[in-house]
Structure 1
Amino acid sequence: MNSKIIGISFFALIGVAALAIINIECTPSVGQEIPDVVDYNFHVRPILSDRCFACHGPDEKKREANLRLDTEAGAYAALQDNPKAHAIVKGNPEASEVYKRIVATDTSIKMPPPSSNLTITEDEIKIIKKWIDQGAKIKKHWAYIPPQKSELPKAGKDWVKNEIDYFTFDKMKSVGLSPSEQASKEALLKRVSFDLTGLPPTIEMQDAFLKDESPNAYEKVVNQLLKSKHFGEKMALNWLDVARYADSHGYQDDGLRTMWPWRDWVIHAFNSNYSYKKFITWQLAGDILADKMKRHPKAKEMLLATGFNRNHKITQEGGVIDEEYRVEYVTDRTNTFGKSVLALTLECAKCHTHKYDPISHEEYYGTFAFFNQVPEKGLFGTIDASFADPPNMRIKDEDVKSIFNFINKKDSSKLEVMVMKDSSIVRPTYILERGNYDAHGKVVDFTTPKAILEFKGYEKNRYGLTRWLFDDRNPITSRVYVNRIWEQFFGRGIVKTTGDFGMQGELPTHPELLDWLASDFKQNGWNIKRLVKQIVTSATYMQSSTVKDEHKKIDPENKYLARSSRLRIPAENVRDHVLATSGLLNEEIGGPSIKPYQPKGLWEVATSGRGSLATYVQDHGKDLYRRGMYVFIKRTVPPPAMLIFDASNRDQCEVQRSRTNTPLQALAMLNDPHVLESARVMAQEQLSKKASIDDAIKTGFRKIVCRAPSKKELEILRKYYEEELVFFKKQPQKIKSLQQIGEYEHKPVKDGVALAALLQTFQMMFNMEETLIRI
């Protein structure tokens, strides 16, 4: 691009630096109070885990003195070298060796030993003493205790809008914080529009909301966005990461697969507000349900939903060991199940009993058994040979007309999608020693981790697994999904480790709120839109994102939600925003993935050179301007513009994207053809309308930044435009390259200098920090 474009990269890099400051994670310096009732999970276990479990925990090989403090039996047991003494004596700290050792001054017996460089603070000692005084009750891990609704805490009645706010207000007050004022109407509209649809509010939406002074003006906007066809697209985006959706098989040859009809179904499911129970049950066991209800009008749709289980990578390389790769596919399905709906690291138990969570080696393979019944092969076809390995389903044109009106099938070509279908004969599942595919141990039955809920009384198939999952006694399922939805709207979950609710995961910041929401979610039919509306209509969500001194001092990470978090919009929505503001966006829902502009030769140099995707063939016309979620994902060479902004490469299940800030992001926004093309189209439109430059800048600012510019901002932008006029008058040869960017119609404009200057002005707006941040 021209030197002037590169010259303003400093502007964008400053924005990147600002983003970096936003995303720094710090440890808050909040003083710890001694609670009235000491809870083992939330107050005691974290201390023991950090200071004691290395030598007296689950790792048998590193355990000292045969003393184990992470189990009830071990903590209450007599000491090996003194049978009359016990580690913990309920109600009697002075008789408890644990307490006596941590308060000892004699370094030869003090715990933790000075050589460990670990210490226990005075407050922590008081917590342990009080816990023992109160009976030293050891509970199951918090995530394995069924959630219950607690009474709403006291809160400022003039601030709260719904039940969520009672809990957040109480937590704020406990750490010395107060709620922030409500965000401005413009900021709030932009925030909720991006959060519910992934798209910016139009100027018409902005005007209507600003004029509406009724008490329920905001709720009306929320209802409008929840009904939008784009709601399903925004909600599906996170699930595509979880489900590891891609358009290629993966591995070295990485050939084409056809799974996009399953993606269309996910969008349809969210738009239709399928309950979370139905959403998951169909994906895990829709084929079994379809067999039970063959005449049901939704039977084929149930079968299509099971494509979730077949989104894993599949090899097409000759010479592989068939059984080795088949086991890899079953392993992927098992691990994805654990991470996606249980938020547990099941994979750790593939090779041995889990060292931290109560998941045995045998229980892992008991869960593995549910996904081990598919009559698939490790290698089915060779490279151009199979876009949908068996078992698969054929989607005919008449199916689209009568059953799948939501599948965007564009032509009459053959369409097959991979789905689940179990063999008629049960395949035995063996414990695999050290996880090796051919190291068969004993045969195991269908089962799940007992620590969560015993698998008893359910069918021994994937439908039985879903019944276990949605059993009212299951403590995990509702918590996990509520927490993941919470993260989508607040930037971090109530449990920060959204993919790990196990012993190594973080504790919830608002445990009572998480349990209240999880219980309420179940009681109200697992209704996703209802949950989303609860969140976005809370006073907690509607707060300003202004960072005050007390926030920096007490809670820089915003764990306690005394303000709104400033978050960069997802990678796909960066593209959507640019296209939508310029009017280029093709709002078509669903259909095959598209290939937009991409640096030449990228696929060719990074692949084996064989197979259906050896060469990149760019799309043209309106397909160039489809939403980011429809961009073709080749696993070995994911879309570069998406990866730069932290999109998943879909190699495996991901429930949480990283947030990075790099110069590449600024350079992409400065040089990406779609950004420059959108700026060109906006400049053409404004000049063809013969709008004044001030009006053109105001209009562009409202479209891009989603608010009216201040007087000072308008002055700065007008000055920049005038500087660009001078530049292009002196450098007329640079105008042509800007005018030719992109394939969209190049409308003739008399004043090429004005076009280039206005294009640069809009392009600078696209690079503003506020453009890419949901404030």
Structure 2
Amino acid sequence: MMKSASLVWVTLTASLSATPVDFVREVRPVLEHHCYSCHGPEKQKSGLRLDIKSEALKGGDSHAPNILPGQAQDSPLIQFITTDDEDMQMPPKGARLSTAEVAILTRWINEGAVWPDGVDLAKSVDKRDHWSFKPLPPQQGSLDSFITAKLQEKGLSLSPQADRRTLIRRLYIVLHGLPPSPEEVESFAADSDPRSYEKLVDRLLASPRYGERWARHWLDVIAFGETHGFEVNTPRPNAWPYRDYVINAFNNDTPYPQFIMEQLAGDAVGTDAATGFIVANAALLPGQTGKDEESKAKARQDELNDMVSITGGAFLGLTLHCARCHDHKFDPVSQADYYSLQAIFSGVRHGERPLKSKEARQNEEDTATLLPRLTKATHQLLQYEPLAASGALRPPVHSHRNVDRFPPIQTQKLRFTILATSQNNLNEPCLDELEIYNTAGRNVALAAPSVKVSASGSRGGIKHRLEHLNDGQYGNDRSWISTTKGSGWVQVEFAQNESIEAVVWGRDRLDAFSDRLPVEYLIEVALADGTWYKVSENSDRKAYSGPKERQLLSEPQDPALVAAFHAAKGELSTLEGQLRTAKSGPMVYAGKFEQPGPAFLLNRGDVTQPKQEVPPGAVTAIGTTLNLASDTPEQQRRIALAKWLADPAHPLPARVLVNRLWQHHFGEGIVNTPNDFGRNGALPTHPELLSWLASEFIRSGWSIKHMQKLIVMSQTWRQSSAPREDGLSADAQTQLLWRYPPRRMEAEALHDAMLAVAGTLDLKMGGPGYSAFAPNSNYVRVYDPKPSFSPEDWRRMIYMTKVRVAQDSTFGSFDCPDAGQAQPKRSRSTTAIQALSLFNSSFVNQQAEIFATRILRDAGPVPEQQIRRAFALTTQRQPGEDEVAACQTLVKDHGLPALCRVLLNANEFLFVP
């Protein structure tokens, strides 16, 4: 920064005084008068705080450290208060520091910036000193004992147990999101077995309906959607396997550490769909990010921010994204921690990849033996290939596999030059695996530290990287593309001279793509004197006749060789087929992976201002330390983070998860900010209970079903929900749980319950979902609600394709998240739109008509029996005589569908009792 004339004067004169500057008497008043308004206890602009020693000497987000003891002229603090640049000078408004004040600060810094301990007007806050960051203490007691202890402090007690009809309805709605059948209710109400309630709990937890209910809660936490969002909002047709994965994980009671590992590194443990967690958020499509490199980099930073944010919120209950531009203002998360976490995910890109079957995964695991066998089979067939320029007319080039065989020659370098492509040079040429065989049958081009690969220009990105040219993996996703249309060259240098005799290459060795195929090319080797010598070219091949013509191997004329030829050809075909199986299969939107480059801390989050390089890591102030090198393989980074999160000694993941379980059983968490357990979040109503539950969760082997059974078996959960005068006076919000808090069902449960009582619910599980919107094929998607619904739309709502920022016409108004952002806690509103939707929507009217048909079928023509059956299905009880009389009048005047419509709108049907 340019030094001003006044700074030079101050520097010359500051040394004239022999008395050391006194911080308290001389320095602090200057800082207090001019600096504290922006860099004091109330505000810390640019992350700089000057009223606390440790913070001031550390410096702000930019130019840190701002105070360099002994170096006033180089200290940003002095430069800012003396510069003549109006955009940089401090204070930015009001009177500037006098010459004498500048001299005081200058002398103080040159004298070593002595700041005595214990003189700060404010105390530095230890961000780690917070209840949620402390280890889980040993706990004794029971769930009910913690609740009753809090109630006794307020002079309250638990309410009596709810009746059995209420309990079975409550259990079904909370665990399944569906009402019980009248037959199940009557059986349970009459069952005198003292273990009947526990048996019912076990049966509900073992049902596949359980996973369909609880998966929805997790999908809210991570903002799962099946469209890209933003303006275009195009579909992600293969995102649904992640939804099915979550359903199955809950049904299987997957231990929580495994659940974490699968979602962060499912590609390493055989659950490919699970990594849909990392890319669950909205994302810009390539055409929306801008064409200049800065715009692309900013869009990429937003993607990485989402990955860090979703991981921090879901597993840690921390707002990690707040450290993107500066150290977290409230929690012990530094900006370096944030970018180290970004480095964990910097090799993950939005996109689809093959969803491997069990057999395909096995094939991939066998690649270590498969590729050497493939190499051997290829070399066996070389003897049947005509030599280049031998006079024999060779087959035309093909996208799958081409062989250029030539007399053995000694060389240390080979260059493959592309002169033209199959599409009149309109596209950049592409090469899949480039194999170079020596006379011993070894592919000497295969990637190794001693093999060097270079090119005229490489596109880069997720696919088509130069390192893919010889990585031993086939397919378009692992290929190289030149940056020059119609031409380009690649060069392979070996560790030593090799006697080579063939080059095997293709555009896509898995036969998926045939564009960008080189049809005119030149293969050369470097001689000892440094000159290049041509060993093969395309001129002796047949004329290219299109991508469908597969290269045929030349069958030998000698009958004695025919059997060996076909055996070798069959072996090669079988091995290529196995490799193709390992690479093919249905697709899943679960991210694509590549080895990332170095990661840097960005000054104030600006991609144009990289600062120091940071290694992959986690939050250094919490849990154990991740000691990962900057070149740690991409997959290993995610595995390491998953293990860090699942460490039983880590204070947060268990606390955060059991709080989520509590929230969905009681309607409110012990901490009512479920994604913020930091210093800016809410305090727990029952901190000892939360710690006890977390400890029990770990002790149980991280079993979610165990914790849910523990909750629903408690006296606290089995209470009546009836209001009491003393409870309402002391605790109107029922935070202390003196009764079970009644609440309206969520949108999905309302939808599913209507289908269930109408008898139309389709319990088909898994697979692509149904749509609540009319079809359209516009580039910019417009999601108009369907005007009518058919049996294909009568599956559970979790199978409805989740469109971002577009809601189902009936149930979207019931506080249903739109997947625009994570919503770990739904609001519960009461609006006129909700009432209108429930009473007038085409869906509700349709189901009311079908419900009436069911009643007629079940109860016959007698109106009283019809009414009793309708009540049993919707409210799990029999109506009183006054209710029967009123309903008979309604049915007589308006018909049975009207009664069904009224019952589907009744609070008793809509609420968890």
> How does the TM-score come out when normalised to structure 2?
0.60
> CA-to-partner distance for each residue in 1:327-362, whole Å, 9 max, x for gaps?
221111110001111111111111111111121111
Q: Paired residue for 1:66, among 51, 57, 66?
A: 51
Q: Paired residue for 1:194, among 173, 193, 199?
A: 173
Whichever structure has more strand as a proportion of its residues is 2
Pair 1:261 & 2:241 matched: yes
Give runs of ≥4 in structure 1 deviating > 4 Å.
53-59, 61-65, 67-71, 82-88, 136-139, 395-400, 457-460, 611-621
Q: 1:365 to 1:64 in 2, by over 3 A?
A: closer
**Map 1:493-572 → 2, pairs under 5 A:** 493-572=669-748
- Counterpart for residue 342 of structure 2: 368
Pair 1:143 & 2:132 matched: yes
Amino acid at match of 1:320: T
- Counterpart for residue 286 of structure 1: 266
Q: Paired residue for 2:223, among 244, 262, 286?
A: 244
**Map 1:258-407 → 2, pairs under 5 A:** 258-287=238-267, 289-290=268-269, 299=270, 302-316=271-285, 318=287, 320-321=289-290, 322-374=296-348, 376=349, 389-390=351-352, 392-394=353-355
Amino acid at match of 1:553: S
What SS is found at the alignment partner of 1:642?
A: coil
* CA-CA distance at 1:549 after TM superposition: 1.2
Write the distance in 2 (CA, Å) between the matches of 1:447 and 1:285: 16
Pair 1:658 & 2:796 matched: no
- Counterpart for residue 750 of structure 1: none
What SS is found at the alignment partner of 2:613?
A: strand
Q: Paired residue for 1:644, among 778, 802, 813?
A: 813
Q: 1:770 to 1:622 in 2, by over 3 A?
A: same
What SS is found at the alignment partner of 1:430?
A: strand
What SS is found at the alignment partner of 2:890?
A: helix
Write the distance in 1 (CA, Å) between the matches of 2:593 and 2:335: 24
Which range moved further: 650-659 or 531-540? Answer: 650-659
* CA-CA distance at 1:398 after TM superposition: 7.8
Q: Paired residue for 2:845, among 671, 676, 679?
A: 676
- Counterpart for residue 382 of structure 2: none
Matched residues, number = 587
Structure 2: runs of 5+ lacking an equivalent: 1-36, 59-112, 291-295, 365-583
Write the distance in 2 (CA, Å) between the matches of 1:142 and 1:362: 24
Write the distance in 1 (CA, Å) between the matches of 2:784 and 2:837: 23
> CA-to-partner distance for each residue in 1:340-391, whole Å, 9 max, x for gaps?
11111111111111111121111111111111112x37xxxxxxxxxxx34x
* CA-CA distance at 1:567 after TM superposition: 1.2
**Map 1:31-42 → 2, pairs under 5 A:** none
What SS is found at the alignment partner of 2:600?
A: strand
Q: Paired residue for 1:702, among 857, 872, 877?
A: 872
- Counterpart for residue 482 of structure 2: none
Over the matched positions of the two proteins, sequence identity in percent amounts to 32
Write the distance in 1 (CA, Å) between the matches of 2:749 and 2:604: 42
> CA-to-partner distance for each residue in 1:418-471, whole Å, 9 max, x for gaps?
2345323x4211122222333322211112222212424578501111111111
Contact 1:58 1:68 (C-alpha < 8 Å) held by counterparts: no
**Map 1:150-161 → 2, pairs under 5 A:** 150-152=139-141
What SS is found at the alignment partner of 2:287?
A: coil
> CA-to-partner distance for each residue in 1:71-106, whole Å, 9 max, x for gaps?
9x9xxxxxx9x9898789xxxxxxxx99xxxxxxxx
> CA-to-partner distance for each residue in 1:616-653, whole Å, 9 max, x for gaps?
77896431211111112221423233320111111222
> CA-to-partner distance for each residue in 1:288-346, whole Å, 9 max, x for gaps?
x34xxxxxxxx2xx222112112222323625233322222111111000111111111
Contact 1:196 1:235 (C-alpha < 8 Å) held by counterparts: yes
Whichever structure has more helix as a proportion of its residues is 1
> How does the TM-score come out when normalised to structure 1?
0.70
Q: Which structure has the larger Rg over C-alpha atoms?
A: 2
What SS is found at the alignment partner of 1:641?
A: coil
- Counterpart for residue 625 of structure 2: 455
Write the distance in 2 (CA, Å) between the matches of 1:70 and 1:687: 76
What SS is found at the alignment partner of 2:691?
A: helix
Contact 1:453 1:473 (C-alpha < 8 Å) held by counterparts: yes
Write the distance in 2 (CA, Å) between the matches of 1:662 and 1:508: 30
- Counterpart for residue 908 of structure 2: 770
Write the distance in 1 (CA, Å) between the matches of 2:38 and 2:710: 42
Q: 1:192 to 1:615 in 2, by over 3 A?
A: closer
* CA-CA distance at 1:64 after TM superposition: 10
Write the distance in 2 (CA, Å) between the matches of 1:532 and 1:260: 26
Q: 1:472 to 1:639 in 2, by over 3 A?
A: same
What SS is found at the alignment partner of 2:622?
A: coil
Contact 1:458 1:468 (C-alpha < 8 Å) held by counterparts: no
Which range moved further: 485-494 or 615-624? Answer: 615-624
Amino acid at match of 1:529: K
Q: Paired residue for 2:647, among 465, 468, 471?
A: 471
Contact 1:285 1:463 (C-alpha < 8 Å) held by counterparts: yes
Pair 1:216 & 2:195 matched: yes
* CA-CA distance at 1:68 after TM superposition: 9.3
Q: CA RMSD in A?
A: 3.4
Q: Paired residue for 1:758, among 867, 878, 896?
A: 896
Contact 1:304 1:393 (C-alpha < 8 Å) held by counterparts: no
**Map 1:60-139 → 2, pairs under 5 A:** 60=44, 66=51
Amino acid at match of 2:333: I
Q: 1:556 to 1:439 in 2, by over 3 A?
A: same
